[in-house]
Structure 1
Amino acid sequence: MSNAVEHPKKTEGFNSFAEFYPFYLREHSNRICRGLHYVGSTLGLCIAGYALFTGEYIFMLPAIICGYLFAWIGHFFFEHNRPATFKHPLYSFLGDWVMLKDFLMGRFCRK
C-alpha cells in the first residue's frame, strides 16, 4: 500500500487554460466549424440576455442548447472530431468565449 496521496487532475493532461487553448484551437481548425461556434455562442448569449432581461428564465435552457447545437454540428459534420467539451467541459466553455473574442478582435485571418 502506497503512502502517496493521489490528487485528481484538474483537466486531463492540462494544468492551465493557457496550456489547453492551443489544443482547443487545433480542434477548431475548420473555419466553418469556428463560424458555427460564433453563431451558436452569439445566439445563445442573446437568448440568455433576453431571459435575464425579461425574467423568463425558462429561456436559459434554449440558450445553452443553441450554443452547443451549432458547435456540435460544426464538429460532427465539418471538423470531424469529438467536441473538446466531452473531456474538458470547463476549459472548453471558456475556450468558446476566448475564441469568439479573438475572432471579434481580428486575430484569425481569413483563409
Structure 2
Amino acid sequence: MSGYSSFREFYPFYLNEHSDVQCRRMHFAGSTLVLAVIVLAIVSGNAWWLLLAPVAGYGFAWIGHFVFEKNRPATFTHPLYSLMGDWVMYWQILRGKVKI
C-alpha cells in the first residue's frame, strides 16, 4: 500500500476497505459505543470509563475486518487517517451517504 499525501486522497481507499456492509455495521456499532462511553464518563464523573472507548471502537471494527471484510485494518498502516476515516464514514452513515 502506498503513502497518501492527504486525507482526501486516502478516503476512497478507506471506503473500499469497508465495502462489506457487515464490516460497516460493526464500525458503526463500535463508534456509537465509543460515544456512549464518553457520555457515561462525563455523566458519572468517572474518567475510568474512558479506558473502554478504544476497546469498544477497535474491538468492533477489527471484528468487522477479520470476520466479514477479510482484510487487515488500515489502522495498522495509516492510524491517523484511519481514525479520521472512521468518523467521516460514521457521519456519512448517519446522513445516508454510506449504506448500512
TM over 0.5: yes
Is 1:108 aligned to 2:88, yes or no?
Answer: no
Alignment partners' CA distance in 2, 1:108 and 1:63:
23
* 59, 65, 70: which one aligns with 2:60: 70
Larger radius of gyration: 1
Give percent identity, aligned residues only. 55
Corresponding residue for residue 23 of structure 1: 13
Alignment partners' CA distance in 2, 1:33 and 1:109:
11
Equivalenced residues, count? 99
Q: CA RMSD in A?
A: 1.2
Alignment partners' CA distance in 2, 1:40 and 1:100:
10
**Pairing 1:85-100 to 2, within 5 Å after superposition:** 85-100=75-90
Gaps spanning 5+ residues in structure 2: where?
none
* 13, 27, 46: which one aligns with 1:56: 46
Structure holding more helix per residue: 2
Normalising by structure 2, report the TM-score: 0.93
- 2:21–2:99: 8 Å Cα contact kept in structure 1? no
Gaps spanning 5+ residues in structure 1: where?
1-11
Normalising by structure 1, report the TM-score: 0.84
Which protein has greater RCO, CA pairs closer than 8 Å, 6+ apart?
Answer: 2
